[in-house]
Amino acid sequence: MTPALTLYMDDVQENLDVASKLGFETYLVKPGEEIAEYLKERGFF
């Protein structure tokens, strides 16, 4: 897995902070959020 090419999604900010330090793009998932909508907006599919 190449961090620069990987989106790391989690609902815990502390996990995202570590992933970001390792070079991953990160996204905080909010309660009740539809992840598919976020991915569509970002052009992942």
For residue 42, how far is the Cα from the chain centroid? 11
CA end-to-end distance (rounded Å), the chain: 20
Residue 8: CB partners within 8 Å, gap ≥ 6?
A: 15, 16, 19, 24, 25, 26, 27
Q: pLDDT for 1-45, tens place per residue?
A: 899 999 999 999 999 999 999 999 999 999 999 999 889 988 888
Range of the domain at 24: 3-41
The per-residue pLDDT for 45 is 81
Please give the tally of structural domains in the chain: 1
Residue 9: CB partners within 8 Å, gap ≥ 6?
A: 26, 27, 29, 35
